Every structure is written in structure tokens, then in C-alpha cells.
Chains A and B, each alone.
Chain A
């Protein structure tokens, strides 16, 4: 992001922090597609993209006043998104343990390939083979987060992030290149 864009973003965030609805709306419009992609990469569920994205932005609206450094907005937003997705996956896992037959469709991955392109289908298949934490890691990198920022999000060291990222990329490449058929 260049200097002007960063300055514009900081101004927008400051206006949003003062409760300016137009600024909040503008922020959501600016980031909704990226957040939706991020959520999809982690959950691999099209039917959850809108709900989870909405949850992320509602948390953003309610907590933006407390954001100390508006220049860190993007990093902060994707941390919110990552935590929201991981929490949702944890809740689903718990529900699966306590109510194994209650919502049986919730845990079944939607069939890939029906509407996806070959490339997207292969990526979704490959992502589905990874742990949610690794999917989140790769998605954070795709969103342009630096190793240092990711280390803060995951409360770990930069070296650990690099190692985990290397392994996650290897696994992704391996599954992406395998002869998966829908």
C-alpha cells in the first residue's frame, strides 16, 4: 500500500472511530471482498461466507473505537477475521461431539466442482486437507500480512511462523498437484 493510500485509510478509520456511518460503510465496502475470500479460504464453506463476514464486520464496528493505531487497521481486521473463523470451527467441532446427529449437514463439506473452475476446485481440495490454523496462515499471507504481523496474531516468533508457513505451503502444493477429481 503506498503512502497516500495509507493516509487515506488512516483518515477513513479515524472518521469511523468518531462514529461516522458513511466512513464505516466505506470501510466495509473496501474490505468485504477480501474478508469474504479470507473466510472462504479458512472455512471452505460457501454457505458460511456471508454470515461469518457479517460477524467479522459487526465486531469491527463495535471495537473500532478501541483501535489504538489506525495505520494497523488491516492487520487488526484480519486478526478479527481469523479469530472469528477459528472460533466458529471450534464451535462446530464441539457441536459435533455433543450433538453428533443434530445437524448432520453442517459438517459435510459441500460438493466441490459443481460450480467451481478446475483451478479453484483444486485449491479448495488442497486447502481442505490442511489444518484450519494452516489455512488461516496461508490466507493471512495471501492478504499481504508480513511474517512479523502474523507472529503477533499467532502470539509466536517470526522463526516459528516461517517454519509453519514453509510446511503449510509444502502440504498445499502437494495436495494441489495431486490428481484430485471432483
Chain B
């Protein structure tokens, strides 16, 4: 190989190494442009993601969702439950307080009676 031929070969090799892999396919795609085929392929690919019986499943799921409790009713139920819990806590607290008062009063009565018993008149 003469030096000139070698230089040309080196030039070709250097130039071709600058091309990305898949260059030819990219050129073809650029030349053809974005056609309907690509969008059709996208639609087909997406349609293939739907399992058979999709429509029946959707109708069933929609009916089940409609039959279930609504957001408002769930909210109302939560509010009523919270109110009942609060009332129960207050009632229990009041009852405990009352029992404690009665117990303390009885103890004071006992102490007072005992004091009266040991109290010597005329001292």
C-alpha cells in the first residue's frame, strides 16, 4: 500500500469512527420522517397491554365503586365515631371524678367523727 492510499484509508477510518452506531437506520428514519405508522404502532402496542375482558372488568369495578360508601358518608361516619369516643371519655372522667369526691368526703367525715370522739369537752 502506497503512502497516499494509506492516508486515504486512515481518513476513511477516522471519519467512519465518528458515526454513531445505527447511523444508517437513523438516516432512513430522518428521510422518511414521522409518519402515521409510528403512531399506529404506538396504539397497537398500547392496545396489546389490555387483557381480554377489559370492558367487563371496568363495568364491574365501576358498579362496585358506586355501590361502596361515598366519601361524604365515610367522613360522616368518622365524625360520629370521634364524637361518641369523646363523649365516652368525658363521661368516664366525670364518673371517676365523682367517685373520688365521694371517697374523699367519706374519709373526711370519718376523720371529723374520730376528732369529735377524742375531743375532751372543757379542755
Contacts and interface: CB of A to CB of B under 8 A. Distances in A.
B43 interface: yes
Interface residues of B, number: 33
Interface string A119-140: 1101110100000000000000
Interface of A: 21, 24-25, 28-29, 32-34, 36-41, 46, 49-50, 53-54, 57-58, 61-62, 116-120, 122-124, 126, 142, 172-173, 176-181
Interface stretch (B8-16, B46-54, B86-94, B113-121): B46-54
A62 B29 contact: no
B50 A123 contact: no
Main secondary structure of the interface of B (DSSP, over half): helix
B66 interface: yes
A120 B41 CA distance: 6
A40 B29 contact: no
Contacts of A122: 29, 38
A32 B49 contact: no
B41 A179 contact: no
A58 B47 contact: no
Contacts of A37: 39, 42-44, 46-47
